[in-house]
Amino acid sequence: MPVNVRIVQGLQEAASILASDRGAQLLGGGTLLVRDINEGVMTEGTLLRAVDPALLAMNTGGARVELGAGVTMAMVLANRDLSYLHAAARGIGGPAVRTTATIGGNLFAATPYGDFTTALLALDAVVTLHAGFGGARVMPLEEMLANRARGGVGLVASVGFSRPAGADAFRFVKVARVRPKGVSVLSIAAHLPQNGGRISGARIAYGAMGPTPLRAKAVERVLEGRSLDAATIAAAKTAALEGTQPATDAIASEWYRREVLPVHLGRLLAGETS
């Protein structure tokens, strides 16, 4: 049976179909699923195209930001309120990919893709999920990614997070061999709120350093309560690799990723351009 496409209006209807049909997958921009069809990886099943306007909603003006899962990277780049996320959005493909690639799709992109998710993880994002036939529920992104690795998630309707305190409080770097567009060797996102010159509530996330984007909790512990000076950065670099499980692929070896991660983390924390 070839691949079918089913257009559904509401998120709850789409979630119900996903729960009852194991062969059904939600179609975002198509940059992952249509590629699978072209390559013969996906030969049967159902693609659900949900046209609920809620998927495109953007609430970006206040302290709390809410983005629909269908919001594209181009929409993020066109929104001045989201300037702190522009580096992460610009790192996703070329312009023709960014007009279709969605936030929701990026949450499910296999490593070494998923750089935007890395940024969301450092923002302590939560996702609003529709799973099965019940109502919506909110789940930390970190938990959703763990569930993704185990194979069960549901339908992600939106992501929410608090706006970073200041322009310098959120930093992102994507390390790629080809610029301006290339697949990640790795990516690092850092949210570094400061209180009286000392870091309070740091969040560091890595992309392409594990099966899914992951938090660098050892680095966060090192940074907590300290000023961002040379000694702190050196200590953070020492702790950089704890908890990482990088893979070897066509872009870089596991060894190379381990070698360069502390270097780029140090540069990001020091405010230097990689």
Q: Is 152 in the site for other proteins (CB under 8 A)?
A: no
Q: Which one, 101 or 204, has the nearer CB to other proteins?
A: 101
Q: Supply the minimum distance, in Å, between the C-beta of residue 168 and other proteins.
A: 23
Task: Give residues with Cβ within 8 angstroms of 237, minimum separation 6.
Answer: 262, 263, 265, 266
Max distance between CA atoms of the chain, in angstroms, equals 63
Q: Is 86 in the site for other proteins (CB under 8 A)?
A: no
Region of 13-21, 36-44, 201-209, 238-246 interacting with other proteins (CB under 8 A): 36-44
Region of 88-96, 114-122, 145-153, 164-172 interacting with other proteins (CB under 8 A): 88-96
Q: Is 63 in the site for other proteins (CB under 8 A)?
A: no
Closest to 169 measured CA to CA, from 138, 192, 196, 152: 192
Binding mask of the shown chain, residues 177 to 216, with x at each position contacting other proteins by CB under 8 A:
---xx-----------------------------------
Cα distance between residue 262 and residue 218, in whole Å: 13
- Find where tokens 């194991």 sit: 22
Q: Is 100 in the site for other proteins (CB under 8 A)?
A: yes
Residues 121, 213 contacting (CB under 8 angstroms): yes
Interface pick for other proteins out of 15, 18, 71, 74 (rule CB under 8 A):
74
Q: How many CB atoms are located within 10 Å of the residue 147 CB? A: 16
Cα distance between residue 29 and residue 49, in whole Å: 9
Distances (CA, A) of 32 to 109, 204, 216, 232, 244: 7, 26, 27, 39, 25
Upper half-sphere CA count for residue 236 (Cβ side, 13 Å):
32
Q: Which one, 58 or 97, has the nearer CB to other proteins?
A: 97
Q: Is 47 in the site for other proteins (CB under 8 A)?
A: yes
Q: Supply the minimum distance, in Å, between the C-beta of residue 47 and other proteins.
A: 7
Q: Is 5 in the site for other proteins (CB under 8 A)?
A: yes
Contact residues for other proteins (CB under 8 A)?
A: 1-5, 7, 27, 29-31, 34-35, 37-39, 47, 49, 74, 93-97, 99-100, 180-181
